[in-house]
Amino acid sequence: MGLFDKLRGELVDIVEWIDDSKHTLVWRFPRYQNEIKNGAQLIVRPGQKAVFVHRGEIADVFDEGHYELKADNLPILSTIMGWKHGFNSPFRSEVYFVSTRQITDLKWGTPNPVMLRDPEFGPIRLRAFGTYTLKAVDPKALLKELVGTNAEFNSDDVAEVMRSIITQAFTDMLGTSKVAALDLASHYQEMAGELRKLVAERVDDEYGLEIPQLFIVNVSLPEAVEKALDTRTSMGVVGDMNKYQQYQMGNAMMAAADNPGGGGAEGLGLGMGFAMANRMAQMGAAPVAQPVGAPPPLPSGATWHAAIGGQSSGPYSLAQIQTAIQAGQLDRSTLVWCAGMSNWQPAGEVSQTASLFGAAPPPLPR
pLDDT at residue 135, as a whole number = 92
pLDDT at residue 133, as a whole number = 93
Q: Which residues contact 290 (CB under 8 A, 6 or more apart)?
A: 297
Q: Which residues contact 314 (CB under 8 A, 6 or more apart)?
A: 303, 304, 305, 306
Q: Residue 251 in 3-state DSSP?
A: helix
- Residue-wise pLDDT for 314-326, tens only, equals 788 888 888 888 7
- Residue-wise pLDDT for 343-366, tens only, equals 888 988 888 888 888 766 666 666
Write the DSSP string, 41-94. Answer: EEEE-TTEEEEEEETTEEEEEE-SEEEE--GGG-HHHHHHHT-SS---S-EE-E
pLDDT at residue 162, as a whole number = 92
pLDDT at residue 264, as a whole number = 46
Nearest-angstrom CA–CA distance, 357 and 330: 10
In which element (H, E) is residue 115 found? Answer: strand 114-118
Q: Is the confidence at residue 335, as pLDDT, over 50?
A: yes
Q: Does domain 103-227 have CATH number 3.20.20.70?
A: no
Higher per-residue confidence, 282 vs 344: 344
DSSP 286: P
Nearest-angstrom CA–CA distance, 75 and 57: 14
Nearest-angstrom CA–CA distance, 127 and 181: 11
Q: Is the confidence at residue 262, as pLDDT, over 60?
A: no
Nearest of 167, 15, 162 to residue 96 by alpha carbon: 15
Task: Name the band, by pLDDT with cuts 50, 70 and 90, for residue 7.
Answer: very low
Whole-model pTM? 0.57
DSSP 187: G
Q: Which residues contact 73 (CB under 8 A, 6 or more apart)?
A: 60, 67
**Angle at CA 251, nearest 5°, toward 246 and 257?**
125
Nearest-angstrom CA–CA distance, 118 and 181: 6
Distance in Å from the first CA to the final CA of the chain:
121
- Residue-wise pLDDT for 73-124, tens only, equals 787 787 777 666 566 667 788 899 999 999 988 999 988 888 888 777 788 8
Nearest of 35, 30, 149, 147 to residue 98 by alpha carbon: 147
Q: How many CB atoms lie within 10 A of CB 233?
A: 10
Q: Residues 99, 25: contact at Cβ < 8 Å? A: yes
- Residue-wise pLDDT for 199-218, tens only, equals 998 887 788 899 999 999 99
pLDDT at residue 194, as a whole number = 93
List the domain boundaries for the chain: 3-99, 103-227, 241-357
pLDDT at residue 242, as a whole number = 63
Q: Residues 35, 1: contact at Cβ < 8 Å? A: no
* Amino acid (1-letter code) at residue 2: G
Nearest of 105, 48, 100 to residue 208 by alpha carbon: 100
Q: Residues 141, 205: contact at Cβ < 8 Å? A: yes
Q: Which residues contact 29 (CB under 8 A, 6 or more apart)?
A: 15, 16, 17, 94, 95, 96, 97
Angle, helices 241-258 vs 263-282, to 10°: value is: 160
